[in-house]
A = this chain, B = another copy of it.
Amino acid sequence: MTVTQDERRNGVDTATLFATLDAVKGQHEIAKFQFRASNNWVNGVHSRSKFAGFYGAGGEMLHKAAHIAEADHPSVLCGEDAAPTPVEYLLHALAACLTAGIANIAAARKVNLTEVESTVEGNIDLLGILGLDKGVRNGYQQIKVSFKLKGDDPEKLRSVVAQSAARSAVYDVVTNGVPVAIEVEAG
């Protein structure tokens, strides 16, 4: 198959994208995925996660190579600043999910992108996690994502961003929450 300009747009292989969609339409079971992170405490507030494999498309899958991400706190929060904080990774996850959606949706709609930048800001009052004010929540109080897009018609670009938010896994979890079960084996 010759890959024409229509089949690869914004670096997205739209032929494969639509083929994936068709495959899932024909077999809903392959849409069930489980993602995983294995985290190990390093020292202090520094830890390291490994992403080796996941379940999806009907079976166990491996990443091409296991990915690693570390986390730490800056010195003002009693860390050594060896890596981003956990709360910064949350902002990254949100920006990256929305941006991936923008690229895919734009490609599917034959909208060309030349630039997608975003700044994500999360406001948090540490009186919550420090246990100093019961009226203050532990997490972010609000998050703002500011996108700057260049490419085709601005109205089309805005519509692509709106659709990305309407179909983003991370945006859904961050705005609506999800039940989290914690199990502990100690000894």
- A contact set with B: CB distance below 8 Å: 10-13, 16-17, 20-21, 24-25, 28, 31-47, 49, 51, 54, 56-57, 61, 63-65, 67, 69, 71, 73-79, 81, 83-104, 113, 115-133, 137-150, 154-155, 157-158, 161, 165, 167-187
Complex copy number for this chain: 2
Bound complex: CA A42 to CA B101 (Å):
13
Q: Could you tell me the distance in whole angstroms from the C-beta of A70 to the nearest C-beta in chain B?
A: 8
Closest to A171 in B: B180
Bound complex: CA A155 to CA B166 (Å):
44
Q: A28-B127, A121-B35 are in contact. Are A186 and B40 (CB under 8 A)?
A: no
**By CB atoms of chain B within 10 A, which of A24, A98, A138 has the most?**
A138
28 A-B pairs, CB-CB below 8 angstroms?
Answer: A12-B45, A12-B78, A16-B78, A25-B132, A31-B130, A32-B125, A33-B124, A36-B119, A37-B91, A37-B92, A39-B92, A39-B99, A41-B102, A54-B74, A56-B77, A69-B69, A71-B92, A79-B100, A86-B94, A89-B90, A89-B93, A128-B169, A138-B169, A138-B172, A139-B168, A142-B178, A148-B185, A176-B177
Chain A interface mostly helix, strand, loop or mixed?
A: mixed
